[in-house]
Structure 1
Amino acid sequence: MKAIDIISIPVTDQQRAKEFYIKFGFTLIVENPFQNGANWIQLGLPGGGTTITLVNWFPQLTPGCIAGYVIKCDDLDATLEGLKEKGIEAGNADKTPWGRFATVKDPDGNSWSLHGK
C-alpha cells in the first residue's frame, strides 16, 4: 500500500455539493455518468494527493456522517477570511496544544477541520 487515494463523501444532491466544494477550494478532476442516474464526481485540492468523490449510492453512508478529516492550511486566518468572502461559514479557530483548528460543514452537514497557524 502507498497512500489513501479517494475518500467517498456522502451527499444528497451531487451538483449542489460539487458547487460547494469548488467554491470551498477543490478542483474538478472528473465528472462522468456512473450508475442509476448518479455521476462519478471526483475533486481534489490543488497540489494534493488524496481526492474525494461525491457519492449517493452507498446506503451505509448517510449524508452528513463524515467528520474528522483535516485539511492543512498555511495560514488559517487567511483561509477563514477567504471562505467568508465566498459566503462559506466556518467555526471560530480553536487553539489546542497540537495546533489551531476551525470547522466547515458542507450543505449536507459533512464536517471538515481546517488546521493551520
Structure 2
Amino acid sequence: MPISQILTVTVPVADQERALAFYTGVLDFEVRTDNPFPMGRWLTVAPKGAETTLLLASWFPDMAPIGGLVVAAPDLDALAARLREHECAFEGPSEEAWGRQVLFYDPFGNGFVVSQA
C-alpha cells in the first residue's frame, strides 16, 4: 500500500520553549500536542486548519537544521511585516518565475520558503 500522507516533519531546535514562542507568537501556529517525553516534550505545532504538524524536537543535538520546507500564506506582505516586527531575518516578498515568495529562518537555522497561497 502506498504512503497516503505526511503527518509530521521533525524540526530540530535547541530550546523547545523558545521554539514554541517563535512558532506560536510570530507565525501564529497552534499547539497540537505538548506531552512529556523521555527526552523532553513531544511538542507539535501547525498552522490553524493544517493536517501536517511540525515536531519541535530538542533531542537531536547533531541533527542539522532543515532547509527548504515549503509552506503557503495568503498574504506575503502581511507575513513580511510580521517577521519585520519581530526582528526576524527574511528575504522578500520577491517575484519568481513560479510566483511570489518569502524566505526566512527560524531562530535555530531551519529554512522556510513561503509561497503565495
TM range (shorter): 0.7 to 0.9
Q: Secondary structure at the match of 1:93?
A: strand
Deviation readout 1:4-45 (Å, 9 max, x if unpaired)? 000000011111111101121211111111013x11101111
Deviation readout 1:47-66 (Å, 9 max, x if unpaired)? 1111001112235523xx21
Q: RMSD of the TM alignment (CA)? A: 1.7
Distance 1:43 1:11 in 2: 13
Distance 1:88 1:47 in 2: 24
Higher mean C-alpha deviation, range 14-23 or range 50-59: 50-59
Match of 1:48 in 2: 50
Pairwise CA distance, 1:87: 4.1
Q: Secondary structure at the match of 2:55?
A: strand
Distance 1:32 1:91 in 2: 34
Structure 1 residues 71 and 27 mapped into 2: Cα distance closer, same or farther (>3 Å)?
Answer: same
Structure 1 residues 98 and 43 mapped into 2: Cα distance closer, same or farther (>3 Å)?
Answer: same
Pairwise CA distance, 1:90: 2.3
Is 2:15 aligned against 1:13? yes
Q: Secondary structure at the match of 1:17?
A: helix
> Larger strand proportion, structure 1 or 2?
2
| Contact 2:14 2:108 (C-alpha < 8 Å) held by counterparts | yes
Distance 2:24 2:87 in 1: 13
Structure 1 residues 86 and 58 mapped into 2: Cα distance closer, same or farther (>3 Å)?
Answer: closer
Match of 1:32 in 2: 35
Unaligned runs of 5+ in 2: none
Return the letter of the residue paired with 2:10: S
Distance 1:19 1:100 in 2: 27
Aligned residues: 114
* Divergent runs of 4+, >6 A: none
Distance 1:75 1:56 in 2: 31
Q: Secondary structure at the match of 1:12?
A: coil
